[in-house]
Amino acid sequence: VATEQRFQQALSSPLEAAFYTAVLAAEPSQGLGLSIRPSACDLQYLVSSPQYAVYLGTSEEGTGVVKQTKYCASARICTGSFPGAPSPQTLVVASTVFIDAEVPSFQVAIQLAGCAQTDLPAPSVQYSEPGLHHQLQDAGRAAEAAADPRKAAQDQPPEAYPLQSPGSSSLLESSQLLTDINVWAPKVTLTTFPNGMRGLQAQEGFRQGENVMLFPWTRVLKVDNHQRRSPLPHLIPDAVWEAHFWQQYPYNAAVKLLHELSLGPRSRMHRYLEMLPEHVDMPWQWTLEELSELQNPTITAVATDQLNKMSAAWHVLNSEQVSMQNVTWPAFNWACSIIWSRSFGMDSLEGLDKPSHRLFLGLVTAIVLGGALLVACFKSSYRSWFRLLVLILTLILAFLSGAIQGLLLESGTPAHYIGLLPGVDLFNHQALLPQPNIYMSSPGQPGQWNWRRPLDRFVRITAATDLLPGQEVFISYGQKSNSDLLGGYGFLVPGNIWDTYQLANFPKQVAEAAASGLLPPVIAPDSPLVQHAASFGVPTLGMLGVDGNDVGRLQDLILPLLGPPRALEPGLAPPEQAAIAAWKVLGYACSQELSEKPTTLQEDEAALQAAATDIEWRFRSY
C-alpha cells in the first residue's frame, strides 16, 4: 500500500506531457513489450512493481536490438531518462525475475515527459521476444553495476560469504581427503585423470558387491522438503522461508551452503568446502549468443527460467526481511551451481516403518525391563545397595525405552531431503554404458537414495561389477539426456547413450508436410492427422533410437486414417502400413527439424575446431 501511495503521489505531480499507466498481464518468465513509439524525446519513467524488479529499455524500430536499459529495483519508484532518439522506438519492459504463476499481473506505470509529441498513441501491450527479454536483462544488469559503485563493490567476494575457499587451488587432489572428511573409502582416492577430469580411482581391485564407500549420513548437509519452518530462523524468518525457499530447489540448499561457508574453519565441513570447484559452467551463466550457438531451444528455455528464478530468490535474500547480509550475486550463483551439480535427492523414513521391527524392539524392551525388575524385587538375598543399583538401571532403561517409543511414534514418517553428501559427490557420471560400475545405497535406483533411520547409519556405495585397480569408479546420475546434464549439472557427455532430442515443433512439421503433399501416400491428404498431431505430445528421438512408445502411439493414430485399400502397398496388413507411415512421418519431422537449423553439422564441427583454444577451458572439468 505504501508503495502504491508513493506511486500515486509521484504520478499526480505536474507533468509536461502525457503519461501512461499500464497494468500488464505478466506471464511467467516472459518479457513484456509496451508499444509506445515516441520519436526524438526524453523519457522519464516511474515503475512500481511492489514485488518484482523490472528493466526498461528502448528498442529501435525494426532491429529488435535493445539500446538503452535502466534497472528498477523492486518496491521502489525509479526515475531516469533515456536520451532523445532520432527514430521511432519501442519501449520494452521486462520483468527481471520469474513471475509466479499465481500472480496474474503487476503494475508498471510509465511517464513520458518532455516529448515533442504530446498525442502519443495509447500503449498497446504485447509480449516481447524472449531473446529481447534476455538481452534487456543482461544489458540492464551491466548498466546497474556501472551506475552504482556500491553494487560493483558488492560483487567482490565479501568476508561473510567468501567465494573462494582458502586453499582450494592447492587442493585439487589428495589421497588423504576422503579420510579427512570422515568418509570410509580405503580403496579409492581422488585423482585428476589424464583427460583433465577429477574423479575417484580404484587403488585396488573390488569384487562385485563389495563396499566401495560408506558415508556416515550424519555428515550430510541437508534441507528437508517436508519442513516448512526455516532451518536458519535467526537469519531467515519462517514466513519468508515458507514463501520463497520452502521446497525451492536449489535455492533452499544454496542458502544452507552459504551459511556453512560463512562459518569458516568452525564449520565441521570446512575441509570439504575447501575442495569444491570455484566455478561450474552452467548454461544460465552464458550469454544469449553462446546459448543460441547450441541451437537447442530447450536449453535456452531452461537457462532463462533458472536465471529468472535465481534472480527472484536473490532479491529476497537481499531484502530487509532477511538478515543474511552480503549475499552477492556471484556468491549466490556459485552456491546454486554447486547444489545443482553436486546434490542428491534422498528419501528417508524416520523411525521404523515395518510393524515387525516395532514389535521386535518393543518386546526386547519389555523383556529387559521386566527381567531387571524381577531381579530387583524378588532376590531378597541381594544387598540393598545392589537392589538400588538395579532399580536405578531399570529407571534408566525405562527412560531409554521412552526414547525408543518416541522413535517408534515417528515411525514411517517420510522425509525427502536434498543435500550435499561430501565424498559421495566426488563420483563422476557414467553415461557411456547402460550400467554404472557401482550402485548407490541398495535398494535405491541410480540417483535415488533410500535409507531408513535409525537402522541405516551409512549410505553404502557398492561395486556393481568387479573393478580393476586404476579404473575410474563411476556412479549414474540417472538416465539423463545431454540437455538434462547440461541444464542440471553444467556438463554433457559426447556419445551419451541416454541422449535424446525432443521434436517440440511436431504438429507444425506434420502440418507443413501435409500442406506440401509430403505425407506418405497411404495417408489421405485430407486426413485429420494434422489435428491429431497437435494433441500427440512431444516425440523424442535418442541415441537408442526413437522412443518406442511414441512410434506405437503414432501408429495407433495413423491406423484409422489410412487411405482406401488400393492405396495400400499390396501384401502388407494395415498395421504394418501404419507402422511404415509412422516412421515416414517421423522422418519428415526430423528432416524438417534439421533444415530449420541455421548451420549444418559440418559447419558446427568446423566452428568447434576453429574455436578450439578459446573454448579449451570448457573441457577442463572438476
Q: Tell me the one-letter amino acid at 26.
A: A
- Residue 618: CB minimum distance to ligand SAM, A: 10
- Residue closer to ligand SAM by CB (options 332, 489) is 489
Neighbouring residues of 350: CB distance < 8 A, sequence distance ≥ 6: 410, 411, 413, 414, 415, 453
- Residue 216: CB minimum distance to ligand SAM, A: 19
- Residue 488: CB minimum distance to ligand SAM, A: 9
- Residue 462: CB minimum distance to ligand SAM, A: 18
- Residue 190: CB minimum distance to ligand SAM, A: 7
- Residue closer to ligand SAM by CB (options 84, 277) is 277
- Residue closer to ligand SAM by CB (options 169, 531) is 169
- Residue 194: CB minimum distance to ligand SAM, A: 14
- Residue 274: CB minimum distance to ligand SAM, A: 12
- Residue 473: CB minimum distance to ligand SAM, A: 11
- Residue closer to ligand SAM by CB (options 134, 429) is 429
**Burial grade of 64 (CB within 10 A; 0-12, 13-18, 19 or more):** middle
- Residue 485: CB minimum distance to ligand SAM, A: 8
Task: Give counts: helices (H), strands (E), the chain.
Answer: 19, 23
**Burial grade of 194 (CB within 10 A; 0-12, 13-18, 19 or more):** exposed
Contacts 24+ apart (CB under 8 A), 512-521: 512/592, 513/585, 513/588, 513/589, 513/592, 518/588, 519/581, 519/584, 519/585, 519/588, 520/580, 520/581, 520/584, 520/585, 521/563, 521/567
Where along the sequence are the contacts to ligand SAM (CB under 6 A)?
197-199, 277, 280, 341-342, 425-426, 428-429, 431, 489-491, 493, 621-622
- Helices 548-558 and 574-596: angle between axes, nearest 10 degrees: 120
Residue 435 and residue 319: Cα distance in Å, rounded? Answer: 46
- Residue 413: CB minimum distance to ligand SAM, A: 29
Q: Which residues pair with 57 in a beta bridge?
A: 69, 92
DSSP letters spanning 21-55: EEEEEPPTT-EEEEE----S--EE-----SS--EE
- Residue closer to ligand SAM by CB (options 280, 322) is 280
- Residue closer to ligand SAM by CB (options 50, 277) is 277
- Residue closer to ligand SAM by CB (options 342, 358) is 342
Task: Give the closest residue to 258 by CA, choosing from 334, 345, 314.
Answer: 334
Neighbouring residues of 574: CB distance < 8 A, sequence distance ≥ 6: 559, 562, 568
- Residue closer to ligand SAM by CB (options 311, 482) is 482
- Residue closer to ligand SAM by CB (options 250, 490) is 490
User: Cell numbers of 467, please?
Assistant: 573393478
- Residue closer to ligand SAM by CB (options 251, 489) is 489
- Residue 81: CB minimum distance to ligand SAM, A: 44
- Residue closer to ligand SAM by CB (options 198, 416) is 198
User: Cell numbers of 19, please?
Assistant: 503519461
- Residue closer to ligand SAM by CB (options 236, 426) is 426
- Helices 329-342 and 297-317: angle between axes, nearest 10 degrees: 130
CA distances (Å), 90 to each of 37, 93, 124, 133, 151, in order? 5, 10, 11, 13, 29
- Residue 445: CB minimum distance to ligand SAM, A: 17
CA distances (Å), 186 to each of 175, 214, 238, 440, 462, in order? 10, 10, 42, 17, 13
| Beta carbons of 230 and 237 less than 8 angstroms apart | yes
> In the chain, what is the straight-line distance between the N-terminal and C-terminal CA atoms, in Å?
49
- The distance from CA 54 to its chain's CA centroid, rounded to whole angstroms, is 23
Which ranges of 202-354 does DSSP label H, i.e. alpha helix? 238-240, 251-262, 270-274, 288-294, 297-317, 329-342
